Structure 1
């Protein structure tokens, strides 16, 4: 489905919702689960036509169905872009950088003007606000800017390599810090030595952002890669939701709260929706979990120790196993989706930069596993 198709369906939806669903289904044939959703909406439309209800109720129900149709239209990846167009990172980030610099200069200028006029208290207030903002948001802003600069640089290198090495396989990557590590060479860097690689991976990226990145989907549709590589879940497992899924007090082998069951279900659903789409967009889709965490220090290890777990690594191992088993089972449902098992690759703590991230040597060993799967 291209941009024109989407625009046509949206316009048609406002005029004839039933025909819009019929036309939408034609585009969803390669995506059975989404096709089932459209068929279900179509059945609800037919049922609504025969119900003896007020006109107001009918319009409200139809409006709800239209919202569902619109959501389906938006979820379908765009299959083509303007001829000759190229996506190189997220160029908007440069404007954000300029705005931050301008804001900082304006604030400093205002503070200096106040000092010149001997208004010291307001100047101190401005200074305090600046320091507070820098303390609260500084790390996040710098991570964001670094991510976007890396994506942009890798985009330029990718398009340069397409000309220099036209016979190399195209590999497009979406993932987290294991593919965009700010401390040194990562998996993307090592794979780029053998393939034309473009990575949209970002340090600190969440699973939903990774697996539903519309810009990455556009890139896939435009570049038609031989290989798509996806990896997600670490941010949620060991940072964002870690405190909620681990019991407040250790209790034998029962590590997790009921929230963990819902979390695992959401992970499977997100991956399933993504694979449903990408499986038809590339010759090979590769997904992976993570290796076992062997580093015995850091925030995760400390929290588990404080909560009374005698063997914190057993908890971390269970989390890693569950994620790997879940995505491995999903990969088995598609003939061109391949799962890479990274567990046991980095058994030595000497190959880890910190509790959750390998160092350059560790990433090199992991990259070899991906290379073997790409070649296999």
Structure 2
């Protein structure tokens, strides 16, 4: 199988694209724009996008869907970014007018075959979650979720998604835009395992290791770990039902927005590095599902 290339430096992408064009290789090489959060960018191990770009050698032998022609990936993802605009850190929001305009400039300049998104998880955790449940005690998982719904956060994230998809769809109506759900967290309250062993020198620079959920719900939701897991399941199901599904069903997008449903795949604590990020093996399993969805939406000559 031809080798894929993932290029985060824009000059490198331009050079590689023009090289493929000069060799008439773009006719069978998928060109994919990727924007996202830590599920696309975490340095803890091979993440979801890493496994899509560079699948394991044994995947093909096991019948896991593969790109038949390699691929060229334009990557601009960054850990910690949110989907919806945020006043406190406007530069850490993906679906803002400035960021979307910048990406659309690249999107219309080069012939992309698909857009991959990983966005929305960070919008419901950390300081936002703390503030949303501040002062509450003795809630059930369902009551805590109702409090989240009442904030209007899902509407904010849905509007942000719709803005991104609308802008890209109007620029290139023929290009599929594919997001993903998150899987249900299990290790609520567990921080990321950072160190030279799994991050190298980057461990010395990493500022946030979590946890991003546990400390904000453990004194609010009664019932311990089972109730906390139930609450996070509600959060993720709500993200699908109130954000991804409405955008997918929006007739204005002509069926070009879709998502890979990754829920219920990783049911063992050992498959999670911390409360929000799977291990390398966990991401590997999820990538097979996401890659299959992507391949199904590519032009036949590029699958």
What's the TM-score bracket when you normalise by the shorter of the two chains? Answer: 0.5 to 0.7
Alignment of 1:194-205 (within 5 A): 194=67, 195-205=71-81
The SS at the match of 1:254 is helix
Quote the residue 1:354 is aligned against. Answer: 274
Is structure 2 residue 16 aligned with structure 1 residue 177? no
The alpha carbon displacement at 1:199 in A equals 1.4
Alignment of 1:166-245 (within 5 A): 166=26, 167-193=28-54, 194=67, 195-207=71-83, 208=85, 209-212=93-96, 213=99, 214-245=101-132
Distance 2:187 2:47 in 1: 18
Cα pair distance change 1:215/1:354, threshold 3 Å: same
Pick from 228, 250, 253 the counterpart of residue 312 of structure 1.
228
Distance 2:110 2:17 in 1: 13
| Number of equivalenced pairs | 227
TM-score of the two chains, using structure 1 as the length reference: 0.55
Quote the residue 1:151 is aligned against. Answer: 8
Q: Encode CA deviations 1:168-207: one digit per residue, 9 max, x unaligned.
A: 2111111101001121211222222342111111011121
Distance 2:232 2:18 in 1: 40
Distance 1:291 1:374 in 2: 18
Distance 2:42 2:105 in 1: 24
Distance 1:170 1:200 in 2: 14
Quote the residue 2:155 is aligned against. Answer: 265
Contact 1:179–1:186 under 8 Å retained in 2? yes
**Which structure is larger by alpha-carbon Rg, 1 or 2?**
1
Contact 1:158–1:197 under 8 Å retained in 2? no
Is structure 2 residue 138 aligned with structure 1 residue 250? yes
Gaps in structure 2 of 5+ consecutive residues: 1-5, 55-66, 86-92, 191-210, 297-303
Q: Which has the higher contact order (CA 8 A, sep 6+)?
A: 2
The alpha carbon displacement at 1:261 in A equals 3.5
Distance 1:263 1:221 in 2: 31
Quote the residue 2:197 is aligned against. Answer: none
The alpha carbon displacement at 1:159 in A equals 4.7
The alpha carbon displacement at 1:258 in A equals 6.5
Distance 1:258 1:319 in 2: 8
Cα pair distance change 1:323/1:225, threshold 3 Å: same
Aligned-pair Cα RMSD in Å: 2.5
The SS at the match of 1:283 is coil
The SS at the match of 1:241 is helix
Q: Encode CA deviations 1:100-129: one digit per residue, 9 max, x unaligned.
A: xxxxxxxxxxxxxxxxxxxxxxxxxxxxxx
Pick from 293, 311, 314 the counterpart of residue 185 of structure 2.
293
Quote the residue 1:371 is aligned against. Answer: 291
The alpha carbon displacement at 1:301 in A equals 2.2
The alpha carbon displacement at 1:294 in A equals 1.3
Cα pair distance change 1:189/1:156, threshold 3 Å: farther
